[in-house]
Structure 1
Amino acid sequence: MANQTFGLDNQLYDYLTSVSVREPEVLTQLRLETAQHSMARMQIAPEQGQFMALLVQLMGAKKTLEVGVFTGYSALAVALALPPEGLVVACDISEEYTAIARRYWQQAGVADKIDLRIAPALDTLERLLEEGQAGTFDFAFIDADKRDYESYYEQALKLVRNGGLIAVDNVLWSGQVADPEVVDNITKAIRAFNKSSRNSPTSWVVGC
């Protein structure tokens, strides 16, 4: 079974995905290949990919930002939903995992829609601002080092246009954020991000 978005029992989760998720074959192939890797838990669930595809279609997005690519499932799901002139700017530091991503993007015919930038994400985000791309993105998805979530978010706020959308993964952290006995640095960083984003006077955050 794929990574789950919600804490449902397996039987109910499998039923919900069977009647609601319409996963293109290329995404299924990528998901199954990724499942063989030791870090497979980093991949989003298929319903998350479908949800983001729906969001970008509903808002008529043409330019999106992704912080954290892994093997490229989310970038592919979004790229498939964008119009022919659409663009995904994707930030990651791994040549190894993004090599898998590139292969599937090519297979799906969307490689020309994805601008992959291999560098620390904060450096890439700063470079985008220096390039004059502030306020030019319709949608952003953050799914990288949790300890830098607040910094990613602050930069994304500058890059996403007014009325745009920022989606953030793992904000519930498998329920650990609600457990006061869990005090590791990553969980504390996610809690801090959740609090600061909630208190932002200028934005809403969609966590998935």
Structure 2
Amino acid sequence: MEEKLKAASNYDKALLQSKELYQYILDTSVYPNEPVPLKELREASASHPRYWMGTAPDAGQLMAMLLKLINAKRTIEIGVFTGYSLLLTALTIPEDGKIIAIDVDREAYEMGFPVIKKAGVENKVDFINSEALRALDDLMENPDNEGSFDFAFVDADKVSYLNYHERLMKLVKVGGLAIYDNTLWRGTVAMPESAVGEKYKEGRNWLIEFNKLLANDARVQICHASIGDGMTICWRLH
């Protein structure tokens, strides 16, 4: 019962129409394989007033598999919150791996940092307390960073996704992955604007434009996965 209550916050933004089916996925394949530190952080984050901003654990499971498949070592994360996806990445990449983690909210990051430290992976994290566009521009000032990252995960302000993408196409190497979260925006991208609540309209409109751009971007091959709140996986071709 406790786990079912914990899953409620994740289902709030899930695209599946059945809570029972979503709970089945969590109980059958996600929670039994979730590392103990991730479970600890997920449960601690449930008390945060913006708990819904955390990465859904089933989406995290897919991320971990992708990180392993491409043998990712150097990664970027834009939008950290309390650090569920950050910790997941740190647990997955090798000992000498490094994550550039960018967020304006240091307080949320510090809520999760004790769990990251307890897991013994804090040495892999370089947290930058900054607006992401500024931090990415700073990274690009060093020519050694061009095409040097294996993987990027973006879960941040939707209005900036287009600008993040352009910078990541310079920072992520050919053959690397850039993943964007929330790209189906609770299904509103497929709804007429008149049917969308005010709190979702702006994000919906930006994401519709972003999804069109990705679909026509010859630099990447994409997979638009209907997991969590929608996750678009971009494989950089050139």
Structure 2 length normalisation: TM-score? 0.84
Equivalent pairs, count: 208
2:149/2:173 contact within 8 Å kept:
yes
1:79/1:88 contact within 8 Å kept:
yes
Distance 1:205 1:71 in 2: 28
Other-structure match for 2:4: none
Distance 2:222 2:86 in 1: 19
Unaligned runs of 5+ in 2: 1-6, 225-230, 232-238
Which segments of structure 1 move beyond 4 Å, counting only runs of 4 or more?
none
Counterpart of 2:209, as a letter, is A
Q: CA RMSD, aligned part only?
A: 1.3
2:41/2:84 contact within 8 Å kept:
yes
Higher relative contact order (CA 8 A, sep 6+): 2
Determine what percentage of the aligned residue pairs are the same residue: 40
Distance 1:206 1:88 in 2: 23
Distance 2:117 2:175 in 1: 31
1:90 aligns with 2:101: yes
1:38 aligns with 2:55: no
1:121 aligns with 2:132: yes
* CA-CA distance at 1:206 after TM superposition: 4.6
Counterpart of 1:166, as a letter, is A
Q: Secondary structure at the match of 1:167?
A: strand
Distance 2:100 2:74 in 1: 8
1:135/1:160 contact within 8 Å kept:
yes
- Rate the CA distance shift 1:206–1:69 in 2: closer, same or farther, 3 A: farther
Counterpart of 2:22, as a letter, is Y
Distance 1:83 1:34 in 2: 26
Greater displacement, 160-169 / 25-34: 25-34
Q: Secondary structure at the match of 2:167?
A: helix
Counterpart of 1:116, as a letter, is F
Distance 2:36 2:217 in 1: 39
Q: Secondary structure at the match of 2:221?
A: coil
Distance 1:177 1:56 in 2: 28
